Structure formats: C-alpha cells, structure tokens
Amino acid sequence: MPENQPTISDRIQRELDRLTRAERQLAHSILENYPASGLGPLATLAKDANVSAPTVARMVQKLGFKGYPEFQTELREELKAKAKNPIAKHDTWAEGAPSGHVLNRFTDAVIDNIRHTLGQIDPDDFDAACGLIGDPDRALYIVGGRITHTMAEYLFLHAQVIRAAVTHIQSTSNTWPHYLLDVKEGDVFVIFDNRRYENNTLKLAEMAHTKGAKIILFTDQWRSPVHHLADICFSSRIVVPSAWDSAATTLLLVETVIAAIQDQNWAQTKDRTERLEDMFDQTKLFRKFT
Amino acid sequence: MPENQPTISDRIQRELDRLTRAERQLAHSILENYPASGLGPLATLAKDANVSAPTVARMVQKLGFKGYPEFQTELREELKAKAKNPIAKHDTWAEGAPSGHVLNRFTDAVIDNIRHTLGQIDPDDFDAACGLIGDPDRALYIVGGRITHTMAEYLFLHAQVIRAAVTHIQSTSNTWPHYLLDVKEGDVFVIFDNRRYENNTLKLAEMAHTKGAKIILFTDQWRSPVHHLADICFSSRIVVPSAWDSAATTLLLVETVIAAIQDQNWAQTKDRTERLEDMFDQTKLFRKFT
DNA sequence: AGAATTGTGTTACAAAAAGAACAGAAGCCG
DNA sequence: CGGCTTCTGTTCTTTTTGTAACACAATTCT
C-alpha cells in the first residue's frame, strides 16, 4: 500500500501551467518552504509572495479547494500522515523513488563529495585565489582539458563579464602555444585537470610557470601532477557511482569563485554587464531586420 | 551557536508536571500528532482534546507564549527549520571559515537547491527520460544556449562515449537550422534553457516539435517557454547569493542521467570506451613521431 | 493601434477565531 | 461537612481573517 495519493505539492506543480503569473509566483513561494508557509494566515502568505490576498484565495480555489481553510486542513492532514509514516524518507532526496534509485545514490555521493571537499579547503587559500583571479592588473588565462574544458569555459564565460583580459585555452588544441606568447610575470593561470591527467596540460603549466605566472589549480582528490607547480591548489572529491567522475563539486567551487570576484569588483561588473546587455539588444535589433 | 533551542514539544513535556488535569489532557493531544494538530484553529484543538477553548489559551500562555497565534507562529518556524535540516546540519561547510564566508553561504544555497530540486522530481519521468536518451534507435540532439551551452557540452561529451548518433547544437549559432534537416519523428532532443530564456532555443524547439521529435527539457524553477513543447521537463532551483545563477543542480541531474544511461547500455558503453581508448593511444603514437 | 479579454490589486464586508469576564464545578483544607 | 481555593466551561466582546465585489492594469487578439 504505497498510498500514492498526490500530495498538495504535487498538485501545485501539476497545475503550474494553468496558473497565472502572480499565482505562479505564489506557488513557488509556497513550495519554497513547504508546508510551513501554507499553514500560516492567508495574509502572511500573500505578503511573503508579494501578491495580494485575493490572489491566494483564487489560486487555492483553482487547485480545487473550497477555500483557504479547507486548503490548510488538507495540508495538515498531509503533515499528519507524513509524521505517522515510520519510513525514514529523510535520507531520501527524491521522494517517491526508492532509496536505491540512482537519483538518490548519486545525490548522496555528490553531497558527500561536497562536504569532504569543503572541509579541506583553506579559506585563506580561497580568498587569495579570488584576489588573484579578480585582479584586473593581471591577465587571466583559463585552461581546461578534454572533459574539464566545460568547467573552464563556464568560468571563462563569467569571468569575461566581470573583467577584461581573460583568455580561454583548450589544452587539447594544438594552438595553445600561441596563447603563451604574451604571458607576463604575475599573470594568472587557472588550470583544471582531473584524472586522467593530460600531458598537454602539464606541459602548458610548465611553460606558464617558467614565465613566472601564478598558477591556481582545480584538480581531484589525487591531484594532477600540475600541483607541484601550482601556487594554490584546490582538490575536489569526484567519486560517484558511475563509470565517470563528477564535476559537480568542482563546479560548485568555480561558481563560488565567480560570486566572490564579482563581489570584489562589483562596480566594474555592473558596468560591464550593462554594456553587455546593450550589445545583446543591438544584436537583437539587427536580427529583426535580417 | 548550534541553535539547540528546545523544541516546543520539549517545552511541553518539561512543563507537564506544572499543568493541571485538563491541560495535561490537552498537552497529550497535541503531542499525539505533533505538530499538525497545533497548527489548526484553537477550537478544533480544544474539541479534539475534549477540553474547552479557554483551556487551550491558558495553557499556551503558561508555556510562555503571548497567545495562541504566537504559539502557532513558533510551531511553524520550528517546522520550517526542521524541513531545512535533513542534512544541512553543517553550520559551516568550510571549517575555519566564518559562517558568513561566501564559501559557506554559497554551499548552503546549492545544497538547498539540490534538496528542493530533487524533491520535486518524478522518478518515473526521470527513468522515462533516461530511456529515451539511452535509446540507440533514436538520434540524440543536445541543445544549449549561451551559458547552458557548457551543460549541453558536458552531456554531449559523455553521451558520445555511450552511444552513437549524438549531435551537439548551439542554439546561439546561426547554423543550427542545418542540423534539423535530418531530424526524424521519434528522435530525441535534450534542451537546456535557463533564464534569460533564449528565443533561438524556443524556435529550435518548435521546429523539433513539429518534426515529431521527443523533447526533454532541463530548465530552471520558472521554466523556459519551451516547456509547453516538452515531453519531459526537469526544473532545477538555481538561485544563489550571486548576480548569476547556479548550474550546479543542473549538472547534478545531467551527471545522474549519464550514470543511468551508462548502466542501461553497459555492454555497448564498455565496447565504445575501449575503442575510444585505442584511438587516443593511436593519436598519441602518431604524435610521438612528428 | 484599438478593443476585448484576462489578470491583479484595492476596498469593503462577513465570518470566524481568539481573548476576557464571569459563573459553576471539583478538589482541598479546617 | 462547609468554606476556601483552584480549576474548568459557557458566554460575550474584540480582533483578526477570509471572501466577495469592484475598478484598474496588463495582455491578447483583431
């Protein structure tokens, strides 16, 4: 007896399309901390979602309840049922999937990776790395390998908005030596290298090192050989129940770096973002007439 | 501050001796199905416990609350906190960094995103999606936009190893219409589209849809307009303390999909991997002699 | 671009709930 | 056993809360 009565949360999601803008906004607010927010007074819920009270009343009726009180009553019933259920579905991420489902196994592993990785990071290293990456007086080179290339590109795309003088190098390409021509002492290399470590990447790192560039390395728990040359090294746990490795933790670090350097150079970022938007707009206009 | 504030349940139990008969009766009724019953109207609670309404009001004041509404508010807060803490017990992820450090703030947000996202995924949808993506009889097209392009590429790189007939399309490129020439009914499109949703992506989706292709969409919590055309839609929470959005959750899903379809087609994957290794080796040999 | 439709917030009203005051019941002392 | 204290339920008032009606805003369609 899996009692798979659709929960109110399910119902909201299913009707999401049929809802209007304000109602959707409200719906998300409800799901945000479900079910607690739905159990408060209507007005509070409305305020939290930045919609008017009647919107709440209307949506609730759209969902098939007679009124807000009835909605709350069913929410409480649901909560009661859930509390009664002795099944500890608390260690399950995707509710409704057995705990052995790949969704749950994989997520478990990734969360674990994150915890381990973050636990080993020295905040000072991190801040120092952000200082280097965000420093507009140093040219920034971002290097990725075959798979890590995606991480490199992700960082590149964002760094490009935040600051000038950013270059993205694919170590797998034959053309990378060209990029090294202009490297000066004090320039910064962000290098991604996970197993299986790539020879090209190591060569590139050596050259950069010789030229006196600072090297920040993102690697895995076993550490790329590049780490001997690196000034700062972040190693992520990347093991997951799969034939491949996970880049999720690395991405988390990259995104955090982005957030940090964006804060650090906020004035500049804002300006550059606006100019970028302008240019996009112009592109669109241009397209219109073609 | 490990916030080991005693829960209201604790408070009730501790005060149990100081309560009178009717109040104790009520207290037990509250604990019976905690916290659901306490979140309903006062009168209901009174009736369920076979006491009068003022008894409820009095007891609640004895527990130190100003009135019943305040009691309820705190109950809701407690519920909210509880829902947040299935694993996020970690006040700080990066030990040694203050909890306000961007490393901790960001990680918190991402874990939260993961939790929300996974909680809303229908495992059947997920399995269905994997079935389609892994089906070697259907051509697979992977589409990304400006930023999501990195996700698309990540999936592409792995899918390519697992199966044949995989194509990676950048919706930002002008050349995408060419790729649609050979699309047949039953082919599969995996489309990534986060805000700000891209018009090109929508157009592309429309064409694919017209041709009778199956569409699997990875989008954010507000859902790209493509979702009207999608057969299966996964929406990730992507909000983080940054001017940009987080792709970490999306990546987690993508990696899980990869793990799933790799299991599904293990024999094939193994074969292809070996052949790929061979080819890499040959490349290396070739280089050796140049 | 204008008209019709749909969605949304403000106001006003009705219902309901919580709190206060009171009166009756039960237990506890002399 | 009667008077006192403590507890409990009923009634009434005040406040809060939900809902309905309206008018304005946004959107869509023609």
Confidence of residue B5 (pLDDT cuts 50, 70, 90): confident
Q: Is the same domain home to A260 and A146?
A: yes
Q: Do A256 and B77 touch (CB under 8 A)?
A: no
Q: How many helices (H) and strands (E) does chain A have?
A: 12, 5
CA distances from A93 to A90, A288, B235 (A): 7, 45, 15
Task: Assess whether pLDDT exceeds 50 at residue A239.
Answer: yes
Higher-confidence residue of B225 and A255: namely A255
Each residue's pLDDT tens digit, A114-165: 999 999 999 999 999 999 999 999 999 999 999 999 999 999 999 998 999 9
CB A9 within 8 A of CB A46: no
Asked whether residue B53's C-beta has any atom of DNA/RNA strand C within 7 A, the reply is yes
- Kindly state whether residues A118 and A240 are assigned to the same domain: yes
Residues B136 and B217 in one domain: yes
The Å distance, CA of B43 to C1' of C15, is 15
Same domain? For A75 and A145 the reply is no
| Composition of chain B by helix, strand, coil, percent to 5 | 60, 10, 30
- pLDDT tens profile A27-66: 999 999 999 999 999 999 999 999 999 999 999 999 999 9
Across the beta sheet with A232-236, what order do the strands follow? A166-170, A140-144, A188-193, A214-220, A232-236
| Omega before A35 within 30 of 0, i.e. cis | yes
Q: Among A58, A87, A116, identify where a domain stops.
A: A87
The answer to whether residue A30 is domain-embedded is: yes
Q: Is B196 on the interface with A (CB under 8 A)?
A: no
Query: Residue B232's beta-bridge partner residues?
Result: B216
Give the number of beta-carbon pairs within 8 Å between A and B.
Answer: 196
Identify the pLDDT of residue B273.
75
Question: Which CATH number belongs to the domain containing residue A205 in this structure?
Answer: 3.40.50.10490
Same domain, B132 and B68: no
> Helix A248-264 to helix B102-119 angle, to the nearest 10 degrees?
130
Instruction: List % helix, strand, coil for chain A (3-state, nearest 5).
Output: 60, 10, 30
Tokens, residue A218:
């993102």
**Cα separation of A57 and A51, whole Å?**
11
pLDDT in tens, B255-268: 999 999 998 887 77
Domain region containing B70: 8-84
Kindly state whether residue A63 falls inside one of the protein's structural domains: yes
Q: Does residue B111 form part of some domain?
A: no
On whether both A124 and A77 belong to a single domain, the answer is no
**B134 and B54 in a common domain:** no
Assigned token pair, B44: 């209901």
A208-229 pLDDT, tens digit per residue, is 999 999 999 999 999 999 999 9
Residues of B in Cβ contact (< 8 Å) with A119: 93-95
The predicted pLDDT at position B195 comes to 85
A258 in B contact zone (CB under 8 Å)? yes
Residue A73 lies in a domain: yes
Q: What is the CA radius of gyration of chain B?
A: 27
Residues B78 and B149 in one domain: no
> Which positions on chain C have an atom < 7 Å from some protein CB?
6-11, 16-21
Q: Do B37 and B159 share a domain, yes or no?
A: no
Please give the mean pLDDT across all residues of chain A: 89
CATH no. for residue B65? Answer: 1.10.10.10
Average of per-residue pLDDT values in chain B: 89
Question: What pLDDT shows up at residue A287?
Answer: 36
Q: Please tell me whether residues B29 and B158 are part of one structural domain.
A: no
Same domain, B171 and B78: no
B80 & B128 share domain: no
CA distance B21 to chain A (A): 25
Q: With helix as H, strand as E and coil as C, how does A59-73 read?
A: HHHHCCCCCHHHHHH
DSSP-H helix ranges across B92-182 = 102-119, 123-134, 149-162, 176-179
Write down the pLDDT at residue B65.
Answer: 95
Chain D positions with any atom < 7 A from a protein CB = 6-11, 16-21
Query: Number of folded domains in chain B?
Result: 2
The answer as to whether A283 is a domain residue is: no
Whether the pLDDT of residue B211 is over 50: the answer is yes
- State the first-to-last Cα distance of chain B, in angstroms, to the nearest integer: 63
- Per residue in A167-211, pLDDT (tens digit) is 999 887 778 878 888 899 999 999 999 988 988 899 999 999 999
Question: End-to-end distance of chain A based on CA atoms, in angstroms?
Answer: 61
Q: Which candidate, B223, B44, B194, places its Cα nearest to that of A157? A: B194
Q: Assess if residue B216 is contained within a domain.
A: yes
Q: Where does a domain end: B65, B84, B103?
A: B84
Q: Which two tokens stand for residue B243?
A: 């001017």
Q: Is residue A15 assigned to a domain?
A: yes
Q: What is the pLDDT of residues B266-282, one digit of tens each?
A: 777 777 777 777 776 66
Nucleotide C16: nearest residue by CA–C1'?
Answer: B41
CB contacts of A13 in chain B (<8 Å) are: 120
Domain contains A289:
no
Contacts of A198 (CB under 8 A, 6+ apart): A145, A146, A171, A172
- CA–CA distance, B234 with B116 (Å, rounded to integer): 12
